[in-house]
């Protein structure tokens, strides 16, 4: 089994894991998270988490992108896994940087892939429950992560207007280092 040391490789400027035997550099780069604000008739789909972190808190259907998936395929898969929802993606709503966790989050604006009368959703294995919420009924005190709040605010700000440049981190947390509740987030 190779042994890796943490050091700055020649020609680099950051510490990396380097194989002591052959010099292979094991790059540790940010993870990509994909998800959607799924809207239906002025309501948004939220999932109450059945897993840690933040078990019991509300979030968007979102998770890590898998190998061999496009961003859109990953977001659709997450909506299916967490909310048994088939969605149609309209485009990118926001891109957030969560530097303290090494994440880049790509959040889409989406809708159910079927008519509202046929809309079906249910809790998947990672959700305790799922529901649609009007803006004033969103359980704000029980939102799981700052980026969920940011995405909901972006969705509310944009409404049904055409998508333009994606929203980003709010100025008060431009690098995504604050935890929920820090600094008014």
pLDDT digits (tens, 9 = 90+) for 32-81: 999 999 999 999 999 999 999 999 999 999 999 999 999 999 999 999 99
The residue-averaged pLDDT of 1-22 equals 92
pLDDT digit string, tens, across residues 171-185: 999 999 988 777 555
Helix (H, G, I), strand (E, B) or coil at 167: strand
pTM of the model: 0.89
Residue 95 main-chain phi, psi, to 5 deg: -130, 120
Residue ranges of the domains in the chain?
31-161
- Give yes or no for a contact between 38 and 112, defined as CB atoms under 8 angstroms apart: yes
- When pLDDT is cut at 50, 70 and 90, the band that residue 136 belongs to is very high
pLDDT digit string, tens, across residues 96-110: 999 999 999 999 999
Pairing assessment for the beta strands 31-40 and 103-112 based on DSSP bridges: parallel
Q: Would you state the pLDDT for residue 120?
A: 83
Sign of the dihedral through C-alpha 50, 55, 56, 60: negative
Share of the chain above pLDDT 70, in %: 96
Q: Would you state the pLDDT for residue 116?
A: 56
Residue 119: is its pLDDT beyond 90? no
The residue-averaged pLDDT of 86-94 equals 97
Q: Would you state the pLDDT for residue 180?
A: 78
Fold of 31-161: Nucleoside Triphosphate Pyrophosphohydrolase (3.90.79)
Residue 2: is its pLDDT beyond 90? no
- When pLDDT is cut at 50, 70 and 90, the band that residue 115 belongs to is low
């Amino acid at each position: 089994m190779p042994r890796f040391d943490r050091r700055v490789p020649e020609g680099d400027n950051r510490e990396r894991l380097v194989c002591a035997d052959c010099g292979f550099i094991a790059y540790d780069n940010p993870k990509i998270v994909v998800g959607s604000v799924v809207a239906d008739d002025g309501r948004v789909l939220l999932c109450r988490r059945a897993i840690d972190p933040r078990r019991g808190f509300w979030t968007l259907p979102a998770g890590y992108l898998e190998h061999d998936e496009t961003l859109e395929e990953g977001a659709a898969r997450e909506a299916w896994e967490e909310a048994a929802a088939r969605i149609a993606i309209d485009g990118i709503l926001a891109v957030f940087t969560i530097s303290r966790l090494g994440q880049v989050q790509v959040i889409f604006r989406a809708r159910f892939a079927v008519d509202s009368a046929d809309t079906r959703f249910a809790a998947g294995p990672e959700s305790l429950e799922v529901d649609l919420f009007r803006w004033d009924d969103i359980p704000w005190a029980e939102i799981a992560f700052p980026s969920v709040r940011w995405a909901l605010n972006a969705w509310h700000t944009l409404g049904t207007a055409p998508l333009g440049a994606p929203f980003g981190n709010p100025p008060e947390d431009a690098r995504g280092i604050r935890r929920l509740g820090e600094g008014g987030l």
